[in-house]
Structure formats: C-alpha cells, structure tokens
Structure 1
Amino acid sequence: MSGLSTKNFYGSSKKRSSFHLVPSSSTSCKKLRREPCHLTNVKRLLGPPIGWKNFPRQQEALDYAKTKSSGCMSFTYEQSNGQRYFMVAHPETFWYYDSRKPQNERHTYEIIAEGNPCKLYFDLEFNRKNNPDSDGNKMIETFVKTIIIFVKQKFDVVCNEEDVLDLDSSTAEKFSHHLIFQSLVFSNNLQAGSFVKFICSEINKFLSEDHNSEDNGCFYNGLTTKDLLSLKIDKGLFCDESVYSRNRHFRLFNSSKFKKNIPLVLSKSNKYKPPEIPHCEDCFDKQIFLKSLITFGCDGKVLLNFTNTMTNEIGVNSLGEQIHCGTKNKSDECQSSYASSPFPRIDKYISNLVFPGKIFRNHYFPSVNKIVYSIVKNRYCGNVKRQHKNNNVKYIVDLNEMYWYQKCYDPDCEQYRSNGTKLPDEICFEYANRVVDNLSDSQLIQIADDAQLTYNFTKQ
C-alpha cells in the first residue's frame, strides 16, 4: 500500500464523496482519482480490499457499507476544523493510513452500525477529584470478575480475564478505560446494552439493601459487598450505560478526542495478548487495533441475545429501543412507529413543543395508556437546564391523567422526571369523546368543566 499520503486518503474537507484506489505507482494517482472505481472491483486474491470511499454524511456511509463485503466497515474522523466526516474501508486499509498520521491529528472512531453483530464492550470512567478513594485498576478487576460470573450464569459460556482487551486514556483528572471481550459477540449493540444494564441494575439492587463497607456478605461466587461497593462513584456505577445507542461512535486505538492529545493506548494492566504474525511491520499495534474494533472479527462466532424483561416506570428501557410492557400478553405489547401514533393531535402538539427538534419515534403502551416520544435535534433536559451533549430526551404523555412530562436517556438523569404539565383543554376534550363509552356521566361532566365548555350530555 504505497503511493498515496494520508492527505490523499482523507482528502479535502470540501469534497468527500469520491472513491479511491491505491495505485501501484505514484504516477497514476491523479488518473485514478479522476476515474473512481467500485470497491468490489479492487478486491484482491490475497489480503483485504485496498479501496475506500469518503462521505459527507453518516447515513450515506452506512448505506454504502451494507452493499460491501470482505470486512469493509464504516469509520468517522475529525479534521482540523472539528467537522466529522465518514468513510467506508477495510480496517487494515484504514489502519495503514491512520497509523501514519501525526499522533495529535488522529481523531478517529468506529461506527458501531445498528443491527451489526458486535463484541461485548464497556466504557469505564470517573472523575478522580470527586472520587479520591477509588482505585480504578482494582475496580476493573472486580468488574471483569462480575461480568464473567453473569456471562456464565445467563449464557453458560466460560470466559476469563485473558479474553478482555483493556485500553486506557486516563489522565491525572479522569480515569478512563475501554474493555472489549474478544470471545463474547452479541447480535447487535442494543442486545449487548440490555445485558450490561441488567448487570448494573442487579448490582445497584444488591447495594440498595443498606449494605456497608464492613459487610462481607456474598453477592455471587466469592464477590463480596465490599467488592461491589468499590464500583460506586459519585454518580453511581463507573460503567457508562449510554454507549449502546444506535450507530454509536467509539474511539479507536491510538486515537484521541478532538483538541486533546490523550490517545487510547494499551493499558499496563491489560492481560489480553493478540496472536502474533511474523514478518509484519508494526504487527503488534496493528493486531491490537483490529482486536479493539467492536464490529470486526465477529464472523463465525455464536451470537448472544439478551432481552431484559424487567421494565421501569412505563415499560421503556433507557435505550428507548427494546421495549416491553411487563406482560406476556401480546395484545398488551407496545405499538412503535416512526410515523404517526394512534393520536395524531397529540403528535402535533408534542412536535410543536420540542421544535426545532422533532419526534424520531413514538411508542404507545395500551396496557398503561401512555405514549413515549423519542426526540432528536433537541436535547434540552430540565434536570441539567441545558442541552445534553450525547444523549437524547423523551417526552411521556399519560393519557389517563392527560398530562406530559420529560425524561432523558442520560444515565446521570435516570431518576429525573419533570413536573407534569396538563395537555391543552381541546386535546383533553377530543380524547374524552374518543372514549365516551368507557366514561361515566360524572367523568364526562368533569372533563367538560375542566375544558370550560358547555356540554349538554344525553346518554344514548
């Protein structure tokens, strides 16, 4: 793979949709860039495809990657202007050029595409100043043991600490590690997230039973209360439960966040050793990079699935995707749609309420008579009094009491719920007419009074 520089690879920020083929000599570079080739045409007999394609929009890259094979996947990277761009390439091709960029210019991420099989992964972090007694390395050791126990219990699969790739980007102010279980592959990252949330809820449930640090009671298979208490930080557990959203961007090995030269490197406490390949330039780092990818190298693995049937207040988990109504009766299952809900008048009201944001998806739960609206492009949360940086918000409409309130998908705001706000009188009255046969005379009169309308009711 010689003949093109990293500048040729990433291209100009003004033009991101051309496809490139690595030439055998630099003399043909310009010609090949003028005459784009299709990715499948550059598949080699030995080794990965050496073509790539840049895109200005994420969905374009994801759609294009779905048409490719041979391990090609989607990446995103930040240029000097802070703008993120998108690329489809084979990981080995991506690594070849990305590893040759100056360290302080590598701001690259894997896109964990929705629906793709993925390894079990974790983002573990806490602020050192706010948690002076927390020992991050010991916390990871305890956490990994806990995961191994749950994996054995739920899937009857045995894994060990040597299966876990441990990457570190900690600073004096913040402890930050990524863990990737090499032998555990889920059918998609929402399933993985459901499993992670279940584990965290079990830990929190156990610790909520007034245990203290001197209590050596057993949690599971030798883990004590004291062990689990060490996983608590000022904001709850040190496991970030928000990194299992659709099309998540997950930072790559040896890459740093924009304007920060703190790369994600192999942890000193890492116990995983990749298979060695002799006579390979930069072989070790390349293997670590490939093994650190969440959605690469999953072919041929047994796919795990985990749907947590335990529900929260309204039957919606914090991901807002895999939803259950706490019942096995199919007639009580939620009705999800990207279009209108069964209540278009309420849809319009919520749309106006969240503008310039919009409703991404709605979920109607007949069993509890509530609608959940997942909102995009407006992340304002009443708890933090500002827009969230990464996590979206949701609006819940209670059709029993005819009011709405706001919650969000950020783990730090998991317990937050805004005050209820009554729906407009005309919506309340319209909804009352839809269910007139199920209401008593007194209920109808009360609704009419609340709406300040004259309602002469004669029951048929």
Structure 2
Amino acid sequence: MNRKWVEKCRKIEELASHYSRHPLSSPYQPRLGKPWQPSSVWKLFHRQAAALQYVKTCKEDVHVFALETVLDDVGRRLYLVSTYTEFWFYYSKRSKTLAHCYEVIPADTVCKLYFDLEFYKPANPEADGQKMVTLLIKFFIRKLEEHYGLKCSADFVINLDSSTDEKFSRHLIFSLPNAAFKDNIHVGNFIKTVLQPLFPQSTSTHKDPGTSVIEAAKIHDDTSKCNIAEATKGTCNGGKNMPEELCELSSFLVNDKYGGKQPFIDLGVYTKNRNFRIYKSSKLGKNAVFELAEDNQFSCKPPKHLSAEEYIFLCSLISNVRFTDTLKILTCASPSDKNGSSRVSSGGSMISGSDMSGYKASPYPEIDQFIWSVVTREGFQGDEDWCLTMDENGNIKKTQQIAAPTEEHLSGESKDQSETCDKDWDDCIDDACILEAAEDVELADIADHSLAEWNLEHTDIPDELLLEAINDHTSVQQ
C-alpha cells in the first residue's frame, strides 16, 4: 500500500515539474464575432516605421498604437497595428500589457485640434488649473470662429485629467462638427499663431515660439502684471497700453521648475508621427491615468452598439476623423511665414498651395469612386496611393497618373508622372468644356476596347502602309 502511494506521489511531482516548465496555454480569448465588427488584425512591431508601413498594405482600416512595456529590465515601446474596434475590445479588459498606450498620430493625416496642458504645482501655488482650462477653452472657441468661421461650444471638447499632487495634467480634444485640421503640424501652427502676442516681435521672424521651455526674457514684459483672477473676470490692471487679449493670454503662462516663464500649453506635441497618451492609460511606472475631468462638458451620446466609455475613447482619438462631403479642412501657415494665413476648405475646394497625400481613400469620395471605376475596369487593379495639390488658380499638380498596366507595370516597375494642367484647361471652366472632357474619356475607353479586340494573327497590314513606314523611318535617319 505504501509503495503504491509513493509511486503515485512521484508521478504527481513529475507532472507538476513538467507543467511548471511547460505551462498550459492562456485561456481562449474570443475574437470579434458581431456582424458589424471588422476582421481581426493584431500585429506587433519593434519599430514605428515598420508599423506605419504595414498599415499602408493592410486592407482593413487599421491604426498604430504605441505600447510602453519593460523588456530585459529596460523600458521600451512596441507598436501595435489593429482596428479601433479590436483594440478597444482588449484594451477595455484592463490588461497589464495594455496599461500604458499611446495613439500614433500619422504624419500628413487629417486630425483634430488637441492640447496637452501641464504645469508643476509647487512652482505655481496660486494657479487654478480648472479656471485656466475653462478660460483656454472659451478663448480657442472664439479664435476658431475668428479664423475659420466655425461655431462650437464646450460640449464638443473632451476634457481628460491625469493630474497628481505634484503635476497638473490635462488633455483637451476638440471634436469639431464637420471640420478638422489638415495635419497636426497645422494644428501647432494655429496655436502658435494665436499665442504670438506673448512673444517679442524680434524673435518671431527667426523661430516659431516655444517647442521647449521658454526663458523669462522671451515673454512679453507686461504679461507678469496680469494674473488669472483678473483674466477670468474680463478685467486687466496690467501695463497702461496692454491689450486686453494679451492680458487674457498671460493667464496661460506658468512658472517652470527653474524660475522661468512658459505657456502651460505644451507646444512640443505637434510633430510628425507624434505619440499621444490615450484615454484610460498611464505612463510607464506611474498610476495616474487619463479620466474624464470633473469639469468635462463633452456631450456623450453614443450610437447603437457602442458603450459610453468606448464612444469617449473613439472621440478622444486625435486622428479618428470621418470624411464626409461637407468636411472642412483647416490649414494654418507657420507664424514665421509672413505670407502665411489661416485657410478653410470644404468639400472639393482648394487648399492653399499645399500637398495632401495618403492611402486607402482621399478626402473626396466622389473622385475616389470615379478613379476606381476607371482603374479597375476589365479586372485591372490600380494603386491605392494618392497625392493632390491645388494652387490658387485651381490647377492640379503632382497628381499621380494611374492607368491600365503596361509592360513596364507588369515587370514590377512603375513611374509617377507629375504634370501641371496647361492654359487651355485653365480657361476651360464651363459646363460645355467639362462635357467635352467627359466625351474624350468615353472615346479613349472605346479605343481601348477596339485595340483589345484587334487580333494581329488574323489581320494583315497592307503593303502600302509598311512601305510608307519604312520610307518615313529612312528619311528621319538621313
């Protein structure tokens, strides 16, 4: 009896040792199974460039997220490619591996107006962060109407808070109705342009204001005479000739750790492929996550199939912009450009002398549909990349020409042809000319079909035509 018991214990110990060395697989996690949910895409990359490149080749509407993690005792970032729906499916489970996530805002991509607000509390004991945020929202709502004619309210602003006892930290995302900026560079230009009165005129032609800590000497001298309490009440007792707007702007200035002055708007977050911390995430090694602020006024009315939290998550993503026929694309030149100005474009109208490029779809669905109808005829597959430029006269430049495959295409080689429309097209702006152009397209289509039906094996070329071609060739050589 004892011998059998010892043998049984030995086998149990062997099994325990085996499973400790070869643990069982993790529990099965169901994939997205609802009819309206996309196909599963979940791919990790060590480099951001590789992740962004993969997005261009993926058929699904995928996006890049940066994940902060510890590998080999070193903090690193991995880059995840997935759809918004699938990412939220796993992210909402509060997994430790997805506790420190950032949205990658792709370069040259339409995006929302956003702010990263922060200041060091011990250096600013009298600063009222909540009042400063309220004033900033009202101020930029007014500036959006002045520069672009857009009307919005605090109901369109997502206010996220990640403050601690030491640091005040907020994210503001303006989910503007039917409007978005051309990219986050233009967002930064707009904000720097608005803040320009804070900076001496002597420095404005050399360098954009503040992508880092700004020294006290660079801030307008009169701003120190106006405080947040006065600004919020609409009064100012600062310098004698101090403009009221400058007094209002001065409420956005805070002290840094080194005794200098700086805006509490972080002007360094408007760069290409910027990583921006998302809703419900904290920094690696920290516990403060971004939650809805107490004074948040965003109107949360989630559509069917979406929870309130998922809706807030989607609305808070900077590059999550839905293209419509009436979407207005906002642009703003750099403050250092004297000829720069703020522009707004709607539908298919022009954007001041700037390139727009991307993949999958352009901002103009009707043009996409027409191009695809031509490119994919007879089973041919065209390129998905697009690049569009329009100058002040409406000329299209640097437009990638997409045509049926030639021998060059079939061999794996292709060329991008860039050309500017000639003056005949410039003068052609009436309906009759557009109709004539449409007829030319139809004739070209008929010609393509005729050539396709022409079989050289059953068609003899007349001798006279061959002799004429030989004589022409000989005369050219002579």
> TM-score, normalising length from structure 1?
0.54
Q: Is the 8 A contact 1:217 1:224 kept in 2?
A: no
If each structure's strand is expressed as a fraction of its own residues, which one has the higher value? 1
1:26 Cα deviation from its structure 2 partner: 4.2
The equivalent residue for 2:236 is 216
> For 1:193, which of 188, 191, 214 is the aligned residue?
188
Which runs of structure 2 are paired with 1:415-426 in the superposition (5 Å)? none
In structure 1, what is the Cα distance between the partners aligned to 2:305 and 2:61? 23
The equivalent residue for 1:374 is none
Rate the CA distance shift 1:309–1:172 in 2: closer, same or farther, 3 A. Answer: closer
> TM-score, normalising length from structure 2?
0.52
1:80 aligns with 2:70: yes
The equivalent residue for 1:51 is 41
Which runs of structure 2 are paired with 1:221-240 in the superposition (5 Å)? 226-234=247-255, 235-240=261-266
Rate the CA distance shift 1:258–1:154 in 2: closer, same or farther, 3 A. Answer: same
In structure 2, what is the Cα distance between the partners aligned to 1:146 and 1:205? 21
In structure 2, what is the Cα distance between the partners aligned to 1:258 and 1:224? 39
Q: Is the 8 A contact 1:104 1:260 kept in 2?
A: no
1:256 aligns with 2:277: no
1:102 Cα deviation from its structure 2 partner: 4.1
If each structure's helix is expressed as a fraction of its own residues, which one has the higher value? 2
In structure 1, what is the Cα distance between the partners aligned to 2:171 and 2:59? 27
1:120 aligns with 2:113: yes
The equivalent residue for 1:273 is 299
In structure 2, what is the Cα distance between the partners aligned to 1:28 and 1:150? 47
1:154 Cα deviation from its structure 2 partner: 1.2
Partner SS for 1:236: strand
Question: Which of structures 1 and 2 has the larger relative contact order (alpha carbons within 8 angstroms, sep 6+)?
Answer: 2
In structure 2, what is the Cα distance between the partners aligned to 1:203 and 1:275? 38
Letter matched to residue 311 of structure 2: Q
1:284 Cα deviation from its structure 2 partner: 1.3
CA-to-aligned-CA distance 1:314-346 (integer Å, 9 cap, x gap): x99xxxxxxxxxxxxx9xxxxxxxxxxxxxxxx
1:80 Cα deviation from its structure 2 partner: 3.2
In structure 2, what is the Cα distance between the partners aligned to 1:284 and 1:294? 18
1:104 Cα deviation from its structure 2 partner: 8.9
CA-to-aligned-CA distance 1:50-88 (integer Å, 9 cap, x gap): 222111211111011123355311111022332211111
Letter matched to residue 84 of structure 1: R
**Which structure 2 residue ranges, 5 or more long, are not aligned?**
1-26, 202-218, 256-260, 341-352, 354-478
In structure 2, what is the Cα distance between the partners aligned to 1:57 and 1:104? 18
Partner SS for 1:304: strand
The equivalent residue for 1:99 is 92
1:188 Cα deviation from its structure 2 partner: 0.9
Rate the CA distance shift 1:46–1:102 in 2: closer, same or farther, 3 A. Answer: closer
Partner SS for 2:122: coil
In structure 1, what is the Cα distance between the partners aligned to 2:78 and 2:57? 19
Larger radius of gyration: 2
Which runs of structure 2 are paired with 1:273-292 in the superposition (5 Å)? 273-277=299-303, 280=306, 283-292=307-316
The equivalent residue for 2:336 is 310
Q: In angstroms, what is the RMSD of aligned CA positions?
A: 3.3
Q: Is the 8 A contact 2:62 2:83 kept in 1?
A: yes
In structure 2, what is the Cα distance between the partners aligned to 1:145 and 1:28? 45
CA-to-aligned-CA distance 1:157-210 (integer Å, 9 cap, x gap): 111111110101000110000000001411111111111111122344697262
Q: Is the 8 A contact 1:166 1:266 kept in 2?
A: yes
The equivalent residue for 1:66 is 56
Q: Is the 8 A contact 1:187 1:304 kept in 2?
A: yes
Partner SS for 1:94: helix
> For 1:89, which of 78, 82, 95 is the aligned residue?
82
In structure 2, what is the Cα distance between the partners aligned to 1:150 and 1:198? 10
Partner SS for 1:80: strand
Aligned sequence identity (%): 32
The equivalent residue for 1:299 is 323
CA-to-aligned-CA distance 1:246-280 (integer Å, 9 cap, x gap): 11000011000001111111111111022224565
In structure 2, what is the Cα distance between the partners aligned to 1:191 and 1:121? 11
1:47 Cα deviation from its structure 2 partner: 2.3
